[in-house]
């Protein structure tokens, strides 16, 4: 089969963000746009030539077309084998699982995670390294630099490859192997969790659950594992069929976008347990009956309870959290004598810590938790962890969390998101804050005494790499914190995230409403950052 070399010119907007390159579908459909980025991956990741690649995505609009482009280019670039999820579908955790299990030379994941899908919505692509994790900054920077000078890419002429039938086919000198999207991942979950114990929970008839797959990638995984292997009643999985536009919804598992699930866990006839995952399956939301578990609390409970879970019964080496995530896990780690690390936002920063076995569990406040079983956050894994814990403790979600607070204290926590604001205005707001940092310590702001104020920087303890300007932290003497950060996951304008945290050790004061507790801190943040005058926004897009 003849290789065809296509002349091209660089695009000036292909620097990957926090988790790959994300743009509107129409941008990726621009002639040569996707091809340039893929060729940059092949040019810089030379082990792929003669090697094996994992390929799949969350099934959003343009997923199937992009896979055909990548397969033709893989053949032209002398890859030996490509493992493709059946139908082009692989959750991000499953892709990491397959990369690690079959020791491939990396993977390309097609997803824009929790962003909406459809012809006028978002698409994304990222490269995962042979450890199964998102490419570190050194790799993404090399890919980006290659995109700035690229002049040609290689492909082959061929008809569309059948990606729906399990088995192998040959494209040039490359073997295309279509693999079961679910099996390897399900096998791994059975190694980590006591499926028999969880099955007994469902078989008891005393426990009810709903899992909202949000018409995204986890539908087939959740249906197979929850309803198939664990005997949950048919219909436990809601919105379980993946759709290219996620059924017109926003596949972000939070209290706003998963409102259908929230309603089912509310009221006198509420189900006992609710959970949801996002577009590509790496995020999770956990709900009890009339009770929301913050991602920060979820991680802390996992750290405190890991010894009860089959796959972690020998103990854990440590925990890491992203900087904006509440310090609840830190308090557990200190009490248990575990190492605890604070990293920038982005799952790639956990990779070296996991590979070096410095940590076993990790998480971030944006509904992501995971462990050393793969190198991505894992939504369904988190749900199974909670199910296993519920089966062991025979307590409600609410009781488990409140007992945790009595032991370790409660970190009240909330996040305000201002989405799609003017980028220049957002950057001006951050610069305004940076200019004030040196003058804030020892000042009193709305009754809060500033203890420290900095622009968070991180030195990786394994490879010594340095990441700066990762978010502005302002800490107060009573343990409260405000964090300001611009997110790298959006495709339009800028997203300003404001994270707020307050600590309460007294069990008698731990049952207050979060927003009422945080009102003064919120007001402090709004005034300090001059959010309304600088952005024109009178209220956030989403509060979680």
Whether residue 267 has pLDDT greater than 70 = yes
Residues 346 and 280 in one domain: yes
Residues 256 and 125 in one domain: no
- pLDDT score, position 489: 57
220-257 b/e with 16+ CB inside 10 Å = b? bbbbbbbbeebebeeebbbbbebbbbbeebbbbbbeeb
Residues 351 and 392 in one domain: yes
Residues 255 and 359 in one domain: yes
pLDDT in tens, 178-236: 999 999 999 999 999 999 999 999 999 999 999 999 999 999 999 999 999 999 999 99
Whether residue 250 has pLDDT greater than 70 = yes
For the chain, give the percent of residues with pLDDT over 90: 95
Domain range holding 436? 410-543
pLDDT band for position 17 (cuts 50, 70, 90) = confident
For the full predicted model, state whether its pTM sits above 0.75. yes
- pLDDT score, position 461: 95
Residues 366 and 483 in one domain: no
Average pLDDT over residues 333-339: 97
Residues 129 and 240 in one domain: no
Residues 513 and 524 in one domain: yes
Residues 394 and 430 in one domain: no
- pLDDT score, position 72: 98
pLDDT in tens, 120-176: 999 999 999 999 999 998 999 999 999 999 999 999 999 999 999 999 999 999 999
Please say which residue of 157, 181, 205 terminates a domain.
Answer: 181
Please say which residue of 162, 181, 200 terminates a domain.
Answer: 181
516 is catalytic: no
DSSP H helical segments within 30-125, as ranges?
Answer: 33-44, 63-76, 92-101
Name the burial class of residue 480, with classes exposed (0-12), middle (13-18) and buried (19+) by CB atoms within 10 angstroms of its CB: buried
Catalytic hit among 75, 96, 111, 113: 113
The closest alpha carbon to 68, from 84, 52, 51, 49, belongs to: 84
Residues 384 and 258 in one domain: yes
Q: How many domains, in total, are found in the chain?
A: 3
CATH of the domain at 536: 3.30.310.50
Residues 226 and 168 in one domain: no
- pLDDT score, position 1: 78
The strands making up 284-288's β-sheet, listed across from edge to edge, are: 237-238, 209-212, 273-277, 284-288, 291-293
Please say which residue of 384, 408, 432 terminates a domain.
Answer: 408
pLDDT band for position 309 (cuts 50, 70, 90) = very high
Whether residue 491 has pLDDT greater than 60 = no
CATH of the domain at 152: 3.40.120.10
Residues 397 and 272 in one domain: yes
What mean pLDDT, rounded, does the chain reach?
96
Average pLDDT over residues 398-407: 98
What gap in Å lies between CA 21 and CA 391, rounded to an integer? 40
Residues 261 and 370 in one domain: yes
């Amino acid at each position: 089969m003849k290789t065809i070399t296509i002349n091209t010119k660089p695009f000036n907007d292909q620097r990957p963000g926090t988790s790959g390159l994300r743009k509107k579908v129409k941008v990726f459909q621009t002639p040569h746009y996707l091809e340039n980025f893929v060729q940059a991956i092949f040019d810089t990741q030379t082990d792929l030539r003669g090697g094996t690649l994992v390929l799949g995505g969350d099934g959003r609009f343009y997923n199937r077309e992009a896979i055909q482009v990548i397969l033709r280019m893989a053949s032209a670039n002398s890859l030996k084998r490509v493992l493709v999820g059946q139908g082009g579908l692989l959750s991000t955790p499953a892709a990491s699982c397959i990369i690690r299990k079959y020791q491939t030379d990396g993977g390309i994941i097609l997803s824009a995670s929790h962003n909406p899908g459809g012809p006028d919505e978002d698409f994304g692509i990222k490269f995962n390294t042979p450890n199964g994790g998102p490419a570190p900054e050194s790799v993404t920077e090399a890919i980006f630099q290659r995109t700035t000078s690229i002049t040609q890419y290689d492909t082959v002429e061929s008809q569309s490859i059948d990606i729906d039938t399990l088995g192998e086919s040959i494209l040039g000198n490359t073997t295309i192997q279509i693999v079961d999207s679910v099996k390897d991942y399900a096998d791994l979950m059975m190694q980590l969790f006591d499926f028999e114990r969880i099955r007994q929970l469902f078989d008891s008839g005393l426990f009810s659950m709903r899992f909202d797959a949000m018409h995204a990638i986890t539908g087939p995984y959740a249906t197979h594992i929850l309803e198939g292997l664990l005997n949950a009643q048919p219909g436990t999985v809601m919105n379980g069929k993946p759709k290219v536009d996620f059924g017109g919804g926003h596949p972000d598992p939070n209290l706003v976008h998963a409102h259908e699930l929230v309603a089912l866990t509310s009221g006198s006839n509420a189900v006992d347990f609710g959970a949801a995952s996002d577009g590509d399956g790496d995020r999770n939301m956990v709900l009890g009956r009339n009770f929301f578990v913050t991602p920060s609390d979820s991680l802390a409970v996992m750290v405190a309870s890991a010894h009860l879970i089959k796959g972690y019964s020998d103990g854990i080496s440590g925990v890491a959290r992203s900087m904006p995530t509440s310090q609840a896990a830190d308090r557990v780690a200190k009490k248990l004598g575990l190492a605890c690390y604070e990293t920038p936002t982005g799952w790639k920063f956990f990779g070296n810590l996991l590979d070096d076995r410095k940590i076993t569990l990790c998480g971030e406040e944006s509904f992501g938790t995971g462990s050393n079983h793969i190198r991505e956050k894992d939504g369904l894994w988190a749900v199974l962890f909670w199910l296993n814990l519920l089966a062991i403790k025979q307590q409600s979600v609410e009781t488990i969390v409140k007992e945790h607070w009595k032991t370790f204290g409660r970190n009240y926590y909330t996040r305000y998101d201002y989405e799609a604001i003017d980028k220049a205005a957002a950057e001006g707001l951050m610069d305004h804050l940076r200019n004030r940092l040196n003058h804030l310590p020892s000042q009193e702001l709305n009754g809060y005494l500033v203890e420290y104020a900095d622009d968070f920087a991180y030195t990786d303890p394994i490879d010594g790499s340095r990441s700066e300007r990762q978010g502005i932290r302002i800490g107060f003497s009573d343990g409260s914190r405000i964090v300001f950060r611009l997110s790298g996951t959006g495709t339009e304008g800028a997203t300003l995230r404001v994270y707020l945290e307050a600590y309460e050790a007294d069990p008698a004061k731990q049952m207050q409403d979060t927003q009422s507790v945080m009102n003064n801190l919120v007001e402090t943040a709004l005034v300090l950052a001059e959010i309304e005058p600088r952005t024109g926004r009178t209220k956030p897009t989403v509060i979680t």
